Structure 1
Amino acid sequence: MSKAIFITNVDGKPGKPGQVYYPLAVRTLPQPTPQGRELLVKLNAASLNHRDLFLRQHLYPGVTFDVPLGSDGVGTVVSVGPDVKNPQQWQGKRVILNPGLGWKDSPDGPEDPTGYKIMGGTKFYNKGTLQEYVTIDETEVEEAPEHLSDAEAAALPLTGLTGWRALVSKAGEKNSGKGAAVLITGIGGGVALTVLRFAVARGADVYVTSSSAEKIRKAVELGAKGGVSYKEEGWERKLLGMLPPEKKNFDAIIDGAGGDIIEKSVKLLKAGGVISVYGMTVSPKMPFLMQAVLKNIDVRGSTMGSRKEFKDMVEFVKQHKIHPVISRVLRTDLDDIASLDSLFDEMKQGSQFGKLVIEFGKLGGESKL
């Protein structure tokens, strides 16, 4: 049997978006049997993403009560389907799961006409990682980097993929590689911190913004050159003053907030600089100003990534021995709904610095890293 975490609909009626908070429920399911080229993976750990919170608030497309939550997971292959060509390649291996389907290798977006389908909690993809066992096609896993713990490996997939595409594929080598000046807004969330790790490893000079002096301090400890509070008046001038004398402007801004970043970019970015936007937590609109047009600034939307980008990202993590940033690891059994809820509460408050991770069946409380 396999325990799994779902959201549940208490009164039988769908809640109004943003006006509901679906409770968590544990269900016991039959242990799945791998078919065809599938692998049966015993999951060791999973991590939360904001989409899991949005699903509980009915703020995410395709909400369902019939698919376990969770997009990020790491586990051990315990059996293989009859059509797996080389069972010994996978048997007993620790793997991380590609968090989505429908996007092979196109640089433009998903090839599947129905779009990209992310694991966990929606009607579009019937698998999730908040469960003890899951089957998945052998083409949709990568061997977990040996230097990562289970918690770190579970923290990597969705934020790593999103951050890789935003920084590498969208901002480009010239604007995010060695010697480039990169600004990451809203440091503290999983994607922003992953971008920080990647950009530092690529040789870029990284600067950050946050409303928290403590988060800026921690970002500097992770390799950022400096940072400012975006609540300060004229923060963009202060940030430009931190650049080395030979650098007058930033090459790229990696943004997950939206709001007034295009207005600020006119001063911050070089001519032809890039804003790579992977989210809009502050505002659903970003006015594109004529000053930005005259400066040839590119605004590029970026979301998740392809199977190829996932593989490239994992290989980069292996090569550079990168460790995802983790805020808290909860070691618990999936029956412990109250402890799982505490992680969601932390996400709602926005107090975490890094990923929130659950290690299954490892009773013994929690750790803060």
Structure 2
Amino acid sequence: MSKAIYISPIDGKPGKPGQVYYPLSLRTIPKPSPQGGELLVKLTAASLNHRDLFLRQHLYPGVTFDVPLLADGVGFVVGAGPNVPNPESWHGKRVILNPGVGWKDSPDGPEEATGYRIMGGTKVYDKGTLQEYIAIEYSEVEEAPEHLNDAEAAALPLTGLTSWRALITKAGDRNSGSGAAVLITGIGGGVALMALRFAVARGAYVFVTSSSQEKIQKAIELGATGGVNYKEEGWEKKLLGLLPAEKKNFDAIIDGAGGDSVEKSVKLLKAGGVLSIYGMTVSPKMPFTMAAVLKNIDIRGSTMGSRKEFKEMVEFVKAKKIFPVVSRVLQTDLDDLAAIDGLFEDMKQGTQFGKLVIEFSKSTGSKL
């Protein structure tokens, strides 16, 4: 048998979006048996993303009470289906899971008509990582980077993939590589911090914004060149003043806020610079101004990423020995719903700097 955590309806029925907070529930389910090309993975750690909080508030599409929560996970292989090539080579291997399916390698977006489907808590994909065992296609895992412990490996998949596409694919080598000036807004969240890690490793000058001086200082300790408090009057001018002498403007902005980002980008970006937007936490709409048109600002939406980009991201993490930023690790059994609820509370309060991880087992390896 396998323990798994789901969300449950209140009084047996769904609530109204934004007016409900679904409780967590622990269930004991049959341990999956790997079929076809599937691997059986004993999961050891999983991490939270904002989508998991939105699911509990019924603010995410396709909410269901019949799929375990969470999309990020790490574990070791303990079984293989009959169609897995060289099954013995997999035994005991520590792997991280591609957090979604439906997108193979197109640079434009998901190839499948159903679109990109993310693990955890929705009707569109019947798998989630907040459980002891999971059966998943061998083509949907990557060997976990050896330099990462389980908590760090579990923190990598979704935010790593999202930031990789926003920074590398969308902003491009010229605007995010060696010598480029990159601004990352709202530092502290998982995606922003991974974008910081990647940009620093690529040799860019990286700057950040936050309403917290403490978070700005932490970002500088992680390799950022500098940062400003976006609540200060005239912060844009102050930020431009921090640029190295050879730079007059930023090459790219990696933004998860939305709101007035286009208006701000006109002041901050070079002509033809890139505003790469992976989220809109401030507002679901943003105006596209004529000033941005006249400056040839290139605005690119970015979400998640392909299987190809996931592999590229993991290989880069391995090569550069990059560590995801982990805010807190909860070491507990899946039975402890109160403690796991506390991790969700951290996310609700927005107090974290980095990822929130549940470590519920140890990687010990096992024979098939």
Query: Does 2:291 match 1:291?
Result: yes
| CA deviation after TM superposition for structure 1 residue 285, in Å | 1.2
**Counterpart secondary structure, 1:192:** helix
Q: Distance in 1 between matches of 2:69 and 2:40?
A: 18
| CA deviation after TM superposition for structure 1 residue 12, in Å | 1.7
One-letter code of the match for 2:285? K
Query: Does 2:130 match 1:130?
Result: yes
| CA deviation after TM superposition for structure 1 residue 224, in Å | 0.2
| CA deviation after TM superposition for structure 1 residue 245, in Å | 1.2
Q: Distance in 2 between matches of 1:25 and 1:338?
A: 10
Q: Distance in 1 between matches of 2:195 and 2:35?
A: 37
1:98-137 aligned within 5 A = 98-137=98-137
1:17-36 aligned within 5 A = 17-36=17-36
Q: Could you tell me which residue of structure 2 aligns to residue 365 of structure 1?
A: none
> What stretches of structure 2 of length at least 5 have no aligned partner?
363-368
Q: Could you tell me which residue of structure 1 aligns to residue 365 of structure 2?
A: none
- Deviations 1:31-79 (Å, cap 9, x if unpaired)? 1100001000000100000000000000000000000001000000001
TM-score, normalization: structure 2?
0.98
Q: Could you tell me which residue of structure 2 aligns to residue 176 of structure 1?
A: 176
| CA deviation after TM superposition for structure 1 residue 234, in Å | 1.1
Name the structure, 1 or 2, with higher relative contact order (CA <8 Å, separation 6+). Answer: 2
| CA deviation after TM superposition for structure 1 residue 91, in Å | 1.0
Query: Does 2:194 match 1:198?
Result: no
- Partners of 2:43 and 2:361 within 8 A in 1: no
Q: Distance in 1 between matches of 2:28 and 2:238?
A: 55
Q: How many residues are matched?
A: 362
Query: Does 2:348 match 1:354?
Result: no
Q: Could you tell me which residue of structure 2 aligns to residue 279 of structure 1?
A: 279
Q: Could you tell me which residue of structure 1 aligns to residue 242 of structure 2?
A: 242
| CA deviation after TM superposition for structure 1 residue 355, in Å | 0.1
| CA deviation after TM superposition for structure 1 residue 88, in Å | 2.0
| CA deviation after TM superposition for structure 1 residue 89, in Å | 2.2
The runs of at least 4 consecutive aligned structure 1 residues that moved more than 2 Å come to none
- Partners of 1:7 and 1:24 within 8 A in 2: yes
**Counterpart secondary structure, 1:274:** strand
1:327-346 aligned within 5 A = 327-346=327-346
Query: Does 2:16 match 1:16?
Result: yes
- Partners of 1:41 and 1:79 within 8 A in 2: yes
- Partners of 2:103 and 2:116 within 8 A in 1: yes
Query: Does 2:264 match 1:269?
Result: no
**Counterpart secondary structure, 2:291:** helix
Query: Does 2:219 match 1:219?
Result: yes
> What stretches of structure 1 of length at least 5 have no aligned partner?
363-369
Q: Distance in 2 between matches of 1:92 and 1:245?
A: 52
- Partners of 2:45 and 2:361 within 8 A in 1: no
TM-score, normalization: structure 1?
0.97
Once structures 1 and 2 are overlaid, which stretch shifts more, 12-21 or 125-134?
12-21
One-letter code of the match for 1:249? N
RMSD: 0.6
| CA deviation after TM superposition for structure 1 residue 90, in Å | 1.0
Q: Distance in 2 between matches of 1:264 and 1:277?
A: 13
- Partners of 1:334 and 1:361 within 8 A in 2: no
Q: Could you tell me which residue of structure 2 aligns to residue 188 of structure 1?
A: 188
- Partners of 1:184 and 1:208 within 8 A in 2: yes
Q: Could you tell me which residue of structure 1 aligns to residue 78 of structure 2?
A: 78
Q: Distance in 1 between matches of 2:125 and 2:357?
A: 22
One-letter code of the match for 1:114? T
